[in-house]
Structure 1
Amino acid sequence: MFKAASHVIRTLRSHGHQALLAGGCVRDFLLGKEPKDYDVATSATPQQVVALFPGALTVGAHFGVVIVKHDHHQIEVATFRTDGSYKDGRRPETVTFATAEEDAQRRDFTVNGLFRDPEEDRIIDYVNGQEDLAAKLLRAIGDASQRFAEDRLRLMRAIRFATVLGFEIEPATWQAICDHAEAITTVSAERIRDELIKIFLHPNRLRGFDLLMDSGLMERVLPEILVLKGVEQPPQWHPEGDVFVHTRLMLSLLPEQVSLPLVLSVLLHDIAKPATFTVDEGTGRIRFNGHDKLGAEMAGDILRRLKFPNDIIEPTQVAVEHHMAFKDVKKMRNSTLKRMMARPTWDDEMALHRVDCLGSNGLLDNYEFMKEKAEEFSQAPLIPQTLINGRDLIELGWQAGKKMGEVLTAVQNAQLEGLVSTREEALAWVKAYSLQ
């Protein structure tokens, strides 16, 4: 991709235009990281770029942006510009083509306002971005309040950059984030969702969680998290403290690499505890009856509000709904355990249970029990091919209906328990069952 971007730059320069690498790819290069993409900023107008690169996509030409395809890569080429007023808090009403220095001044943060000349291997810095990069400081360019008023998504981007880069946020920039936090509600759910994903999938996710809380952004994007504060739990099972403390602690105990449903299920697994909190009059024991089932419903509502797709919502709900089942695994029949372990969400359910224990009483006996069971069951498929079907039962005189389904489930349970292993044994089992 770097070669493709360099080719675009050389082509633009050979026709008399200024062209430089810009933004995040320059920042990542200086940090010694491999950039995910390479953007080019140029003095050429969109029309001039398209003339040089036939087939270029002009989807953002109104803002001076053209997508150039070269060697199977797509390179975003943007004309140096200044922005007009931001009436919608997201995009400028107008843009005016300008110089590289003016273009740098309209960007979000100093570490993203750098240019690089790849041919001379030279950094062009109009905003003191290199100094902030060396100091690991995230600073808005110019007036911080104005930058966030222009584009309110920058509020979330600031938290994301501080999280993934491990940077401190410069005081005036931080104050502006806190002052403008309420404005994030005007940003589309899809854009907020995308920033949350990047924050929570990063190994430094706990920092992102804390910054969202402290800035006031969490209150606007995931207000249900704040309701967990002060919700007491039984001290013998939760010596760590209230539900909020427990959830935050679990987040800190996750491995660096996690699936999105896993981290979301950690955040939301106890989301219904405030709504189900009761205290027994006689014993004084705190209970949260049904918080797992209600929590799954609430998790679905929250994730749909944030426009998560169903393939993320559904496994998250499964993990939330079943997270309390682990307390009973030692009492379960093998058939029940095998059905649990056959769920496609099982690995995430195990990971959720592990941090649930580590973030509370520390008892991992049920977790270790299930690991042993996984080893015990590993020599054969958890759910083997069924030995008989509905047609076999009809031939034995059974009528189609609910009872037949119950019998087929029962004979499969017998198979999972190791009581039957052949078609003949299964048919004999059914005949004996029908006589009961």
Structure 2
Amino acid sequence: MDEFLLATEIVSRLQKKFTAYLCGGCVRDQLLSRTPNDYDIVTSAQPNEIKEIFHVAIEVGMKFGIVCIKYKGKIFEIATFRKDGNYVDGRRPESIEFSDEKEDAKRRDFTINGLFFDPTSKKIIDYVGGEYDIRNKVIRTIGKPQNRFEEDHLRLLRAIRFATQLDFTLDKETWAAVVAMADSIKTVAKERIREEFFKMLMGKNPQQALILMKKSSILYILFPKLFCNDETFDKTVKILNQLRPFTEEALALSAFLSFSYIENKKQTIYICETLKLANKTQKRVLQTLASSEDCASLLDLNIASLKRFLRQSNISDILKIHYANCCINNLSKENYNFAQQSLQKYSDDLFPTKVINGNDLKEMGVPPGPLYKKILYDVEDQQLLGNIHSYKQATYYVRDKWLQRERIEIEKFEKEKF
């Protein structure tokens, strides 16, 4: 069933005894004719009362009046109307108290996220001027910007992200506070920074997000020494603009780091580590950046090395980064065109079926050890070159080249020994 219909059913069940609405981003997205990522629900029912209604509940945020329920196979977050206490760590309130819908709306970050929607009556409930700001495409905090940003320092980045993701402008007072309080972003956990930053890169205008981050100084606070000069920054803006929209985080981050990697590889690796990327993502990003540089020498590779290069799982990312680099730096696209032609030409020959393995080498009398790996790699090279097609050819090749070489080395050692 459609997630919106499920959320509507949940609201309807709550409304039999309590006030309940859809809230936040899903209301904003519906007004903008965007498909919401999820549907959050807010209600006057308190957590224990929510649990009594739905029976199956996950206590993930009871301290903050939040309960997750599983309804017809989907997980929904239900929050009780609340008023936040003092924020002591620039992230979350030290206490909350249950309140009414007006107080709940006023505690939220931006007006566009402070709307409620009653799916039963199909009415928008707006206590913060969110509808007006959506119509005028403005990002504005609810209440004084400084207060909202002091409560949660990540909101500095979220302001930029919403503005560029939705193609809105930042209210002057809100923007002034972002600039004035930029240094506060240092207190935010790297994991939260990473999540928000990736949303920027994956959004509609990642290049504009980067420009606003620079203007506010947040860029250099988060990524000191990453951009050696304005030229590197300008090229980064261009590559983000050229390759957007991104559907994969690894490619988005590779684009963001591509020109900085050329200038300062160690600093780029450091940025990957400080963002606390998953090992798989970090490995893919660094491999993409290194291999995109190697594209410049593709014409010098033999067929076997070329095929190995082309069969990398991230070859699409590699060639996209290389092509964008050529366009931005006005370089020849000869290697890029050669790679594309070679992919078509050798598409069926990049992963030849193994014709020999370690057990075969053992039966042939090859001594166990690192030599196995060298021989098997060499045999596959010969397959990629088109010189070996069968087990018989492989065994002849190993006997002639590798076993003969080993005998010669042993005889040489024995002579020198005595």
**TM-score (ref. length: structure 2):** 0.91
Structure 1 residue matching 2:5: 3-state secondary structure: helix
Determine the structure 2 residue equivalent to 1:263: 252
Structure 2: tracts of 5 or more residues without a match: 406-418
Query: Any conservation in 2 of the 1:4–1:75 contact (CA below 8 Å)?
Result: no
SS in 1 for 2:41: strand
Given that residues 25 and 113 in structure 2 are in contact (C-alpha distance below 8 angstroms), is that contact kept between their aligned partners in structure 1?
yes
Could you tell me which residue of structure 1 aligns to residue 229 of structure 2?
A: 229
Residue number in structure 1 paired with 2:174? 173
Change (3 A) 1:399 1:76: closer
1:13 is the counterpart of 2:11: no
User: Which amino acid is the alignment partner of residue 229 of structure 1?
Assistant: N
For 1:60 and 1:393, the matched residues in 2 are separated by 59
Structure 1 residue identity aligned to 2:320: A
Measure how far apart 1:349 and its partner are. 0.9
Find the counterpart in structure 2 of residue 119 from structure 1: 120
Q: Counterpart in 2 of 1:245?
A: 234
For residue 414 of structure 1, give the secondary structure of its aligned residue in structure 2: helix
Match of 1:359 in 2: 328
Q: Secondary structure at the match of 2:77?
A: strand
**CA distance in structure 2 between the aligned counterparts of 1:400 and 1:64, rounded to whole angstroms:** 63
User: 1:328 is matched with which residue: 276, 291, 297?
Assistant: 297
Structure 1 spans left out of the alignment, 5+ residues:
231-241, 276-294
Q: Measure, in 1, the Cα distance between the counterparts of 2:37 and 2:363.
A: 62
Give 1:422's aligned residue.
390
**1:394 Cα shift?**
4.6
**Aligned-pair CA distance for 1:18:** 1.4
Pairwise CA distance, 1:424: 2.0
Q: Is the 8 A contact 1:21 1:39 kept in 2?
A: yes
What SS does structure 2 have at the residue aligned with 1:91?
coil
| Cα pair 1:253 1:359 within 8 Å, conserved | no
> Counterparts of 1:59-78 in structure 2 under 5 Å?
59-78=60-79
| Percentage of pairs with the same residue | 35
Instruction: Using the TM superposition, give the Cα deviation of residue 427 of structure 1 relative to its aligned residue in structure 2, in angstroms.
Output: 2.6
Residue identity in the other structure for 2:23: A
TM-aligned CA distance change 1:181 to 1:360, over 3 Å: same
Decide whether aligned partners of structure 1 residues 408 and 52 sit closer, same or farther in structure 2, where only a CA change above 3 A counts: closer
**Deviation readout 1:68-99 (Å, 9 max, x if unpaired):** 32222222221211111101111111112222
The partner residue of 1:337 within 297, 306, 323 is 306
Query: What is the Cα deviation at residue 298 of structure 1?
Result: 4.2
1:313 to 276, 282, 291: 282
CA distance 1:144–1:398, shift in 2 (3 Å)? same
Rounded Cα–Cα distance in structure 2 between residues aligned with 1:79 and 1:313:
39
Question: How many Å apart are 1:193 and its aligned residue?
Answer: 0.6
Q: Which of residues 300, 307, 318 in structure 2 aligns to 1:349?
A: 318
Report the AA paired with residue 314 of structure 1.
Answer: K
Alignment match of 2:339 (pick from 341, 351, 370): 370
Q: Tell me the CA shift for residue 201 of structure 1.
A: 1.5
- d(CA) in 1 for partners of 2:63, 2:367: 68
In structure 2, C-alpha distance between the alignment counterparts of 1:304 and 1:199, rounded to whole Å: 19
Aligned-partner Cα distance in 1 for 2:53–2:379: 70
> 3-state SS of the aligned residue for 1:123?
strand
More helix by share: 2
The equivalent residue for 1:32 is 33
Report the Cα distance in structure 1 between the residues aligned to 2:37 and 2:182, rounded to whole angstroms.
29
How many residues align structurally?
402
CA gap 1:159/1:397 in 2 versus in 1, 3 angstroms: same
* Secondary structure in structure 2 of the residue aligned to 1:248: helix
1:185-224 equivalences in 2 (<5 Å) = 185-224=186-225
Q: Take 1:41 and 1:366, find their aligned partners in 2: how far apart are those partners?
A: 56
CA distance in 1, matches of 2:70, 2:373: 57
CA distance in 2: counterparts of 1:149 and 1:191, whole angstroms? 16
Task: Give me the whole-angstrom Cα distance separating, in 1, the residues matched to 2:304 and 2:390.
Answer: 17
Is 1:4 the counterpart of 2:9 in the alignment? no
Q: Evaluate the alpha carbon distance shift between residue 87 and residue 332 of structure 1 in structure 2; reply closer, same or farther with a 3 A threshold.
A: same
